[in-house]
Amino acid sequence: MAVLIITFVSFSFTGCGTLQNGRGWGQDAIYPVDLKRIPDAAYRAFFDLQTLIPAAGAVVFGMSHADHKVSDWASNHTPVFGSKDSADQASDSLLYALLAETLATALAAPSSDNPKDWAYSKAKGLSVEIGAELATAKVTGLLNDNTGRTRPNGSGSSFPSGHASMAFSSSTLANRNLTSLRMSENMRMTLEIGNILLATGVGWARVEAEKHFPSDVLAGAALGHFLSVFIHDAFMGLPEDDRLGFYILPSKHGAMIGLSFGF
């Protein structure tokens, strides 16, 4: 469904033209790097609710018996996908759909009317997003190798979930790309929520397939979102004032929830 929707979007928007600030998507990526963006991107990525909520959930599940109980119940009943094999296949299919959508939204974003400039801008922008995906995969692999947690079915390394980290990385990047496309806010929000639900489906499928505990999936979701937000916002060079975001920001008296948006 995600591929069909974004194919429609891709045909509706040629990827030519410019953004609202007159620049093209990917035109300011990588170089020159605005050094002020790097710490700000890391700060906002860490305190983003899409990072903090699954991270907190991973801690809660990991410190309680619920991790094993939910895993056993999901793999025994498979309420969504019907069987472990179907859940395993669904996790791959949904992940591939999100990866395809990330690429499609990147190509659909307005870059330039000049073919040579268009290709150069796309190459730079895609380098950042592919870099975010590769960084997510690399960090996930390092954690898997060093945590030594066994999967619920007794095979391989479990923490964190690679499928979940890549799914939420792709969902985050696709949603970032959607902010550059010309469409109604209702359509944009629908697609963004749909991407998060698809990524959530990937994570739950891994639990039903008995490949991961809930805490593995939640940790992967937090990791994928954090790294993708950080790398994208630090190195894409896109305007930030049109982006909707929710944050928990530390303060002298505790913390406050922040909302940022453009108008």
Is the per-residue pLDDT at 161 higher than 50?
yes
**The pLDDT of residue 180:** 85
Is 34 domain-assigned?
no
- Structure-model confidence comparison of residues 117 and 221, the more confident one: 221
pTM: 0.84
**23 pLDDT band (50/70/90 cuts)?**
confident
- If you compute the radius of gyration of the chain from its CA atoms, what whole number of angstroms results? 19
Q: What is the DSSP string of 28-66?
A: TSSSS--TTHHHHHHHHHHHBHHHHHHHHHHHHHHTSTH
Is 164 domain-assigned?
yes
> How many domains does one find in the chain?
1
Is 170 domain-assigned?
yes
Is 115 domain-assigned?
no
Is 224 domain-assigned?
yes
CA distance 29 to 16: 17
Is 16 domain-assigned?
no
Q: What is the mean pLDDT of residues 108-130?
A: 90
- Cβ count near 138 (within 10 Å): 11
Is the per-residue pLDDT at 230 higher than 60?
yes
Over the stretch 170-202, which tens digit does the pLDDT of each residue have?
A: 999 999 999 888 888 899 899 999 999 999 999
Is 42 domain-assigned?
no
Is the per-residue pLDDT at 128 higher than 80?
yes
Least Cα distance to 96 among 42, 158, 142, 163 occurs for 163
CA distance 248 to 92: 32
**The pLDDT of residue 24:** 78
Is the per-residue pLDDT at 213 higher than 80?
yes
Is 64 domain-assigned?
yes
Q: Which domain holds residue 207?
A: 48-109+123-260
**The pLDDT of residue 105:** 93
Is the per-residue pLDDT at 9 higher than 60?
no
